[in-house]
């Protein structure tokens, strides 16, 4: 095991391939306390991967590593993001907005940090697209859970994110709001051709949002199963037989604890 | 509406204090405790008296100056201790060991060191107030959910170093300062009460200027109305500084205003 630097990880590019390639990625707190082992997958540009697994299985750590955040752990393997200039954004679990900034200020923050000139800091069309145009002067504590997550999504898109990582973005929402947001995300991201990786413990969410579903489990965590889910993009996918089949298969895979 | 109810509460508190004072004045008689109306009239007349005004301005200046020095020193240091773990490791034990010591005990030491001028009075107020502001600010930074730093890192442009000065300045502006400011203002508000008490002690034996001197001098001369007008002036200064802290929070922390709404 060795600790990789951010540059080592992002400089490795795979010629001709556009998207994300994770190859034999393992992480551990020390050489004995392994978080996950031998994770490999390929995600072509404009597609999505849903990582399904129970809480504490290392989904967040995996997302952090793909994003290039090193939480002080030992890592082995490679993450290739191609092209290297791909704009990344991260929608974190629970924390997605600063409570002392209004919606507008929260959305402006990444633009300020990127030193985007004032006249080019335009957020209104994005807010309208996400149906939160009237919320710009509110503080996060004045928003409902669903509105907060919409703003967090807007924040991820505001700098033109091409690869978006989402860590349980809808876990704190009620079922109706969750489904609405899942549909909005599916529509919006498909329309914009955004590549995204979603960590979730909901099999239904994975079946709606993941072109590829990776089931994580076991001790240490590894990939228990991989499902291709092209039908998720079809109209009415949520009520299709394929949707129920893939949810059932995912559930069985997770329960079995062994590779299919 | 909120302001109106606050004003009503203030009026209620004033009415209650005046009533209790009036009853006590009736009980003790004018040679021990003058009535509130008598003191108030005397106080208003004193506002035309240049000597009284000079005492008042000296006290106000010392209090504002001491509190400002205390805040300016303690707020950044508190943020630094909260954020930089290594610095905290070496400085926090000294802060916590000396925290329980009443700082006013060091007034004679400061008088020996700096003489009878303004410096020891300003410093003793600064010392008294800065400890509370320092500890509260430090703790508020330490209470930040570490995920906020990770979250901030996700917003940070990939091409800029995440450990440089620009990173620290950005995190200071967007995370540390807004997190610590409301807590520091609360500490300032609490410390202002202690500062008035310390000011009284400092002015009661090491100067011939200021309301503390006026109160003690009037007490020695058994001029009770003058003594009480000094007490009233000092209380008013304390109340005004308390309200100024509220105003600062209102202006500088707009999200707190909305949280309280």
Binned at pLDDT 50, 70 and 90, residue B122 comes out as very high
The CA–CA distances, whole Å, from B225 to B18, B32, B44, B102, B199 equal 16, 10, 12, 32, 21
Answer whether residue A8 shows pLDDT above 50: no
A24-76 pLDDT tens trace: 888 888 777 888 888 899 999 989 999 998 888 888 889 988 988 876 788 88
The interface pTM score, or ipTM, of the predicted complex is: 0.79
122-181 of B, contacting A, C-beta below 8 A: 145, 147-148, 150-151, 153-158, 170, 174-175, 178-179
Mean pLDDT over residues B105-131, rounded?
Answer: 90
Q: What is the mean pLDDT of chain B?
A: 90
Binned at pLDDT 50, 70 and 90, residue B30 comes out as confident
Q: Please tell me the CATH superfamily of domain B49-260, with its number.
A: MetI-like (1.10.3720.10)
Cβ-defined contact of B151 to A88 (cutoff 8 Å): no
Give the separation between CA B88 and CA B92, rounded to whole angstroms.
5
- Residue A47 distance to chain B (closest CA, Å): 21
Mean pLDDT over residues B4-23, rounded?
Answer: 90
A165-220 pLDDT tens trace: 999 888 878 888 888 888 888 888 888 888 999 999 889 999 989 999 999 988 88
| DSSP structure class, residue A221 | B
pLDDT at A189: 87
Tokens linked to A101 = 């900034």
Cβ-defined contact of A92 to B151 (cutoff 8 Å): yes
Answer whether residue A259 shows pLDDT above 70: no
Binned at pLDDT 50, 70 and 90, residue A15 comes out as low
Alpha-carbon dihedral of residues A108, A112, A115, A121, nearest 10 degrees? 20
Torsional sign, CA B252, B256, B260, B261: positive
A83-93 pLDDT tens trace: 888 888 888 87
The CA–CA distances, whole Å, from B10 to A239, B6, B17 equal 62, 6, 11
Interface test with A, best of B145, B158, B256 (most A CBs within 10 A): B158
Cβ-defined contact of B157 to A113 (cutoff 8 Å): yes
Higher-confidence residue of A258 and B174: namely: B174
Q: Which of A135, A141, A140 is nearest to A123 (CA)?
A: A135
pLDDT at B231: 94
Higher-confidence residue of A256 and B51: namely: B51
Where do the structural domains in chain B lie, given as residue ranges? 49-260
Cβ-defined contact of A110 to B151 (cutoff 8 Å): no
- Among A99, A110, A142, beta carbon nearest to B155: A110
B204-221 pLDDT tens trace: 877 888 999 999 999 998
- Contact indicator for A199, A184 with CB cutoff of 8 Å: no
Where do the structural domains in chain A lie, given as residue ranges? 96-161
- Residue B102 distance to chain A (closest CA, Å): 35
Three-state DSSP class for B228? helix
Give the separation between CA B148 and CA B155, rounded to whole angstroms.
11
């Amino acid at each position: 095991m060795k600790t990789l630097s951010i540059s080592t990880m992002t400089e490795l590019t795979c010629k001709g391939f556009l998207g994300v390639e994770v190859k034999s990625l393992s992480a551990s707190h020390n050489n004995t306390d392994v978080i996950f082992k031998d994770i490999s997958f390929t995600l072509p540009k404009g597609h999505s991967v849903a990582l399904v697994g129970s809480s504490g299985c290392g989904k967040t750590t995996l997302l952090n590593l793909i994003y290039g955040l090193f939480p002080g752990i030992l890592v082995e393997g490679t993450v290739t993001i191609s092209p290297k200039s791909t704009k990344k954004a991260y929608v974190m679990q629970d924390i997605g907005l600063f409570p002392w900034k209004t919606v507008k200020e929260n959305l402006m923050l990444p633009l300020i940090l990127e030193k985007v000139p004032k006249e080019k800091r335009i957020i209104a069309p994005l807010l309208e697209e996400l149906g939160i145009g009237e919320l710009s002067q509110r503080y996060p504590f004045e928003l409902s859970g669903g509105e907060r997550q919409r703003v967090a999504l807007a924040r991820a898109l505001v700098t033109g994110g091409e690869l978006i990582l989402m860590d349980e973005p809808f876990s704190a929402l009620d079922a109706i709001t969750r489904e609405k947001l899942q549909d909005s995300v599916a529509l919006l991201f498909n329309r914009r051709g955004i590549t995204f990786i979603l960590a979730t413990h909901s099999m239904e969410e994975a079946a709606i949002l993941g072109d590829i579903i990776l089931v994580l489990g076991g001790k240490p965590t590894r990939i228990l199963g991989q499902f291709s889910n092209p039908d998720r993009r079809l109209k009415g996918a949520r009520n299709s037989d394929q949707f129920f089949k893939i949810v059932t298969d995912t559930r069985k895979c997770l329960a079995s604890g062994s590779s299919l | 509406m909120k302001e109106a109810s606050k004003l009503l509460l203030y009026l209620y508190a004033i009415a209650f204090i005046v009533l209790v004072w009036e009853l006590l004045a009736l009980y003790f008689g004018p040679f021990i405790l003058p009535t509130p109306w008598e003191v108030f009239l005397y106080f208003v007349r004193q506002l035309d008296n240049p000597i009284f005004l000079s005492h008042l301005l000296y006290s106000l200046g010392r209090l504002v100056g001491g509190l400002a020095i205390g805040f300016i020193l303690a707020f950044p240091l508190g943020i630094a201790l909260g954020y930089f773990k290594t610095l905290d490791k070496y400085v926090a034990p000294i802060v916590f060991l000396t925290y329980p010591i009443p700082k006013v005990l060091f007034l004679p030491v400061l008088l020996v060191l700096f003489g009878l001028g303004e410096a020891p009075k300003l410093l003793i107020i600064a010392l008294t107030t800065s400890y509370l502001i320092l500890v509260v600010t430090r703790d508020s930074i330490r209470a930040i959910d570490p995920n906020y730093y990770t979250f901030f890192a996700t917003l940070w442009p990939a091409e800029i170093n995440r450990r440089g000065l620009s990173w620290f300045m950005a995190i200071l502006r967007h995370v540390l300062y807004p997190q610590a400011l409301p807590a520091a203002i609360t500490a300032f508000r609490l410390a202002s009460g202690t500062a008035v008490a310390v000011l009284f002690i400092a002015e009661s034996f090491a100067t011939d200027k200021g309301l503390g001197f006026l109160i003690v001098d009037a007490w020695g001369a058994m001029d009770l109305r003058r003594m009480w007008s000094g007490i009233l002036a000092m209380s008013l200064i304390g109340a005004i500084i308390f309200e100024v802290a509220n105003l600062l929070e209102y202006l500088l922390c707009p999200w707190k205003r909305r949280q309280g709404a």
